[in-house]
A and B are shown apart, each in its own frame.
Chain A
Amino acid sequence: MDLKNPVEQAVILLRSRLCNPNFIFTLFSDSPDSNYSKLKYIISSSVTESCNNSVLLLGPRGCGKLAVLELVLEDLLREFPDMISVIKLNGLLHSDDNCALKEIARQLCLEHQLAFSKMASSDENSQFLIAMLRECGLAHKTVLFVLDEFDLFAQGKQRLLYSLLDAMQSVTSQAVVIGVSCRLDADQLLEKRVRSRFSHRKLLFLPPSREDLQRLLEHALLLPSGSDLPHEFVANFNSNLLNIFADKKFKDIMDTVFNTDSTFKQVLTFLFSALCHLDLKCGFLSVENFKDALSNIQRQPKLECLKDCSILELYILVCMKRLEVREHETCNFNSIMKEYKSIHDSFQTTDYYARDVCRRAFEHLLQRELISFLDNRGHGHSIEFRPVKLLISWQELYQGLKSYGSCPAILYKLVERETTT
């Protein structure tokens, strides 16, 4: 490690920090009002007081629901070794009741070093689950069921949720069901009888506020003074960083990031990307790095698609646009070709391609999802006759044409004329 450049070391350290949710969220775990301490209180009280609870963690994606949960679990596993077993399920994988029961049985067996059989029927698995819950409860062991994408478990008859929550009504069992979902109305999806058994602890995870964000920046990017990095370098790096934080330009950049999407996830990706732009020779972060990162993060996929289009494809798009403005409810390849021909006839453009070529361009546009079929019906029909729709608005088209290097002037004019009328 000594051979390495301190800059490289610093970058490695910072990157590993940004990728480690535990590090990021320990910052917010100390205050008693944080979700961390609330969740820990709920779980640890059900461990120590041997009661059953069910909790929902709600909040938009990227706000650290699972990260905080992991942090809590890690702490609790350390605090109460050998008394907690965690069963993790994901709604995307286990929304089928039988499959979920099997997975629960598998994980329980794994946890307790029991032999597991794939052959067991779901009936047996559910009886096994109840027996295990009872035994674990008698042995003062808490079983935590973490159901990620909880909303997907609430499909169908909700047999799994019912049997879990019903088993939790017995005296001997000691279990916590933790549902994680980004749907705010997840508890409304539950059936009446399931909802009645659910104990309705809800924790809401919100995007960070401005102040939290500022703390997060300093927490994540400032180098620690006590590490094996050269002291002088650390001091310089940090003072440089503090200068950047105070910079007006930097603040504007952060505002732009924050205005669109203020979740932890977004901010961390942004910082990571900025770190990747760091110039190893200079060794310090600069405002330029952040600016690059911003352009990196705010991609405009449709506009970029337009940039890649050929002239012919642009013609087709403009034709469709003209047809749309003229309130042709539906257009298909044939009507587009007619329009294309009329443009060609009236403006005497040089670019006139054969029908086959046009058709290839049309298919290409379909694949790029700049246009799409209106509906899913009529798979049997040939492409020419199926109605299509433009997926981009005229502003986007206009912008795209403007930024297109060798766009024929006529196209530009045509679109402009449409917009003015």
Chain B
Amino acid sequence: MAETPKKRSKQTPEHQQHDLSSSNAITIPATPVALDPTPVRRSSRLYTNPTAATAPPPPPPRFTRRKSLNFTTTTPTPTPTPKTPKKPAPQSQEDAAKQISPISPDRYETRRKRKLDEEKNAGLAKNKDLKGGKKRVYYRKVVYDGGEFSIGDDVYVKRRDNAESDNEDPEVEECVMCFKAGRAVMIECDECLGGFHLKCLKPPLKEVPEGDWICRFCEATKLGKNVELPVPPAGKKRARTAKEKLLSSDLWAAHIESMWKEVDGTYWFRSRWYIIPEETAAGRQPHNLRRELYRTNEFADVEMESIIRHCYVMNPKDFSKAADEGDDIFLCEYEYDVCWHSFKRIAEISNNEEDAEEDESDKDWNSCEITGSDSEDDTDYKKEKINGSQRGPSFGPSFGHSLAANLRKGQFFGLQKIGAKKIPEHTRCHKQTEIGKAKAMLLLACLPKSPPCRNKEMEEITAFIKGAVSDGQCLGKCLYIHGVPGTGKTMTVLAVMRTLKIEVDSGNIKPYCFVEINGLKLASPENIYRVIYEALTGHRVSWKKALHLLNERFSNGTNWEEENNKPCILLIDELDLLVTRNQSVLYNILDWPTKPHSKLIVIGIANTMDLPEKLLPRISSRMGIQRLCFGPYNYQQLQEIISSRLKGIDAFEKPAIEFASRKVAAVSGDARRALEICRRAAELADYRLRKSQSLNDSAGRSLVGVADVEAAIKEMFQAPHIQVMKSCSKLSKIFLAAMVHELYKTGMGETSFEKLAMTVSCLCTSNGEAFPGFDTLFRVGCKLGECRIILCEAGVRHKLQKLQLNFPSDDVTFALKDSKDLPWLAKYL
């Protein structure tokens, strides 16, 4: 550590204090010392150290899987071989990708004393005690070489050993124009990412402008001119920052998945690599951002030694917020599959899930270590957990082929094959119109964090769950929630569970497990036992076995380890689907909570208000005690729901929202319906605007108005039969008119084909139309029956076929009254 002197040690406390995101703001260089002209960095040790070749063989060889792009050329390097230093001369990207040898973490070196925060992870330290020095010791957080690294951090990793250019590592970027870093404010070109001092610009800028800014060199290149970049003054080489090196594939970026100390005291971490667009099969696409990286599904164990320092890879949301936070931030929106060369979005929710999974994996890890069971299953499991990937281990393609994709043995095989070969351009069109934004916000899928207008219900559910979880002994821990569809029942419960989870994390409530089941997604009601059992234990058994085991757990409270005996909350959506003939499924599920040791809480959701009353008394007495009704939304609430989603988007006229909510509230109070109406109205407005734009007619309103909403409602909820009647063939119209005529004459809704044919022929002859014959008429009738404009019996009945209008006769009258080709019809209607 001799070479990383004061500067580092000075920085360390600072780093610790700072939040990760704010630690290196480039505009205000925190450490001017970093510009020390003699950049002798720790990387130089790698080849200055003569002990490398003579060192004892490394700890058990670990798979070093940082392969080059082309995957056939994996070069395992199990033995330490002294490498000839490679020139860091800029190569073409593909060459670079192929030539670089994988980092050899096996390269041995003299150990140094390092400062460790071992107490940081008390839970894991236990393992260490247990295993002594025999096993790897895992850490959450390691202070290594002056930097503090924790799981989930992103770091720069050396790509080549011995690369000379790695020696220099300016923390602060130099100005393109004057080649000095200095304290002055710099601005970054959005095209070439070069930094410019505001004062060095011509003309100089006073402050950083809003929006995109492109330097004049890039501007000129765009126009096709030849540009000469300013040449650095003699003797001074332009120092490249780590970011530049990364983007020209001289460095790697990696995500730390786990860290551990080997038996021999070296520190290792498992990295998940990032990749720059140039290294993918698709190459850099025009709509790639400059600072874009892809997360790969590739992992490797790398020694901590090769870490250079932190970088920050963010999702688009954070990235857009962190616009001026420094040089080492990158955007990562996609995952790149190195086997299949395909892209996939990283799910937005993955953060939460990963956190949750991490917690679990720690626990599992503990238990595994303690029991010391090393069956094959467990090791597999461990491997999977080490990977930490959401999709489990990445199987090689050959392995994936042999297994059916839809046969689930714990997971689906081969799903990693799915992925876009290229990232479609339209996803990067940030110039969304207001209406486009509104449409996105109005999607049913786009759930708000907490459901508006359901505060009272949320409180009630929260109180219920809290009470049930904490006191543990009350009987009948059952809540029945009912309400018409689209009133936010499931959403509210899930929102409550989310807030409770935060409280659990902060330690206010005892931990519990939460199982969510939808009755309509079960193949049969009995399957619910299996699903519950699988959710609780992770094992798949038949439903009879599961019922038996669950009975044992809940009724007798036996056979379960102490630590698993957390309270369990069971949310059953569409509860009415579980009603079987003898109602035993419902009875069982609702009976368990009453058992003293069960610690089971059941929340049932259904549409019908009187479901408990319809059931056997023994069930309704267990279920019907606590109920919560979600009433249909009234128009103010709907209005609030819609406008809360459209906050900050200027796309809807106020009366339009009110109109939509009043219309829906009058019918059903279904929030989904209100949202869909608004979305459809926005679509219609969008369609209208596009049409008027293509006609170069700028007169169209750009807001969604009442007229659009009305059109949407009309289109979505008006039965289309009148239009069909208006446009159907002449003979069908006569047929319908005859039916109405017959109805008036006899007063009976039902008539037979024979009678009707008589009426039709009367109508025809008295009005100078040719009677087409019975068979043709019959066919016409069947066609109308097919559309359900009339209801009719099957065609084999022929003359005896019974006919009936499916719509009120007024509709027919309205549709046919002024038909142009048959003016005489009005007489008979």
Contact = CB atoms under 8 A, between A and B. Distances in A.
Interface of A: 32, 38, 41-42, 45, 48-52, 58-61, 80, 82-83, 98, 105, 108-109, 112-117, 119-128, 131-132, 134-141, 157, 159, 162-163, 166, 168-173, 182-185, 188, 192-193, 195-197, 199-202, 204, 206-207, 209, 258-262, 298-303, 369, 372, 389-393, 395-396
Given A259-B729, A259-B730, A260-B731, A206 B723 contact: yes
B775 A49 contact: no
Interface stretch (B55-63, B184-192, B467-475, B519-527): B519-527
Nearest to B417: A112
Contact of A128 (B405, B427, B774): B405
A135 B786 contact: no
A123 B720 CA distance: 37
Nearest to B347: A172
B796 interface: yes
Contacts of B691: 32
Contacts of A184: 719-721, 724, 787-789
A169 B675 CA distance: 13
A138 B798 CA distance: 55
Contacts of A108: 406
Given A196-B485, A202-B720, A261 B729 contact: yes
Given A127-B408, A260-B731, A395-B761, 13 more contacts: A45-B683, A49-B439, A115-B414, A116-B404, A170-B445, A184-B724, A192-B484, A196-B485, A197-B444, A199-B444, A207-B727, A262-B730, A298-B776
Contacts of B523: 98, 121-123, 126
A184 B672 CA distance: 23
Given A193-B485, A390-B799, A61 B440 contact: no
B687 interface: yes
B348 interface: yes
A193 B406 contact: no
Nearest to A188: B719
A131 B415 contact: yes
Contacts of B729: 207, 258-262
Given A41-B687, A135-B344, A393-B757, A109 B418 contact: no
A52 B436 CA distance: 14
B499 to A, nearest CB: 19
A168 B424 CA distance: 21
Given A83-B424, A171-B445, A202 B486 contact: no
B456 to A, nearest CB: 22
Contact of B408 (A128, A135, A172): A128
Given A120-B408, A157-B520, A163-B521, A197 B716 contact: no
B798 A192 contact: no
B816 to A, nearest CB: 15
Given A166-B518, A260-B779, A117 B798 contact: no
Given A138-B344, A139-B419, A261-B783, A391 B798 contact: yes
Contacts of B716: 200-202
Contacts of A392: 774, 798-799
14 contacts: A109-B405, A115-B403, A126-B521, A134-B347, A140-B423, A168-B444, A184-B720, A184-B721, A184-B789, A193-B485, A196-B673, A199-B680, A202-B715, A298-B772
Contact of A185 (B415, B522, B719, B723): B719
B343 A139 contact: yes
Contacts of A171: 348-349, 445-447
Contacts of B577: 157
A330 B680 CA distance: 58
Contacts of B560: none
A114 B417 contact: yes
B404 A117 contact: yes
Residue of B349, B445, B719, B757 most packed against chain A (CB within 10 A): B445
Given A61-B786, A184-B789, A260-B729, A393 B799 contact: yes
A353 B423 CA distance: 84
Nearest to A106: B406
B754 interface: yes
B222 to A, nearest CB: 26
Nearest to B672: A196
B347 A138 contact: yes
Please give me the 3 A-B residue pairs with the lowest Cβ-Cβ distance, nearest first.
A117-B404, A114-B405, A196-B485
Contacts of A166: 518, 520-521
Contacts of B787: 60, 182-184
B676 interface: yes
Contacts of B506: none
Interface of B: 342-349, 401-408, 412-415, 417-421, 423-424, 426-427, 436, 439-440, 443-447, 484-486, 518, 520-523, 527, 574, 577, 607, 670, 672-673, 676, 679-680, 683, 687, 691, 715-717, 719-721, 723-724, 727-731, 754, 757, 761, 772-776, 779-780, 783, 786-789, 796-800, 806
Contacts of B761: 395
Nearest to A59: B724
A389 B404 CA distance: 58
Contacts of A197: 444, 485, 672
A65 to B, nearest CB: 12
A135 B720 contact: no
A251 to B, nearest CB: 14
B780 A260 contact: yes
A136 B344 CA distance: 8
Contacts of B527: 123
A119 B409 CA distance: 12
A191 to B, nearest CB: 9
A171 B672 CA distance: 15
B799 A117 contact: no
Contacts of A83: 420, 424
Nearest to B780: A260
A128 B676 CA distance: 28
B520 A159 contact: yes
Nearest to A131: B412
Nearest to B414: A114
Nearest to A173: B445
A97 to B, nearest CB: 9
A132 B405 CA distance: 10
A188 B687 CA distance: 27
Contacts of B518: 166
B788 A139 contact: no
Residue of B348, B727, B779 most packed against chain A (CB within 10 A): B727
B258 to A, nearest CB: 24
Contacts of B344: 135, 138-139
A206 B727 CA distance: 7
B458 to A, nearest CB: 20
Contacts of B415: 114, 131-132, 135
Contact of A82 (B402, B406, B420, B484): B420
Contacts of A138: 344-347
A61 B799 CA distance: 23
A391 B799 contact: yes
Residue of B402, B518, B721, B787 most packed against chain A (CB within 10 A): B787
B574 A389 contact: no
B421 A52 contact: no
Contacts of B780: 260-261
Residue of B424, B447, B715, B719 most packed against chain A (CB within 10 A): B424
Given A82-B420, A192-B607, A260-B729, A168 B445 contact: yes
A117 B407 contact: yes
A204 B420 contact: no
A51 B423 contact: no
Contacts of A201: 680, 715-716
A299 B776 CA distance: 8
Contact of B520 (A137, A163, A195): A163
A105 B404 CA distance: 11
Nearest to A369: B796
A185 B679 CA distance: 23
B786 A182 contact: yes
Contact of B418 (A115, A132, A168): A132
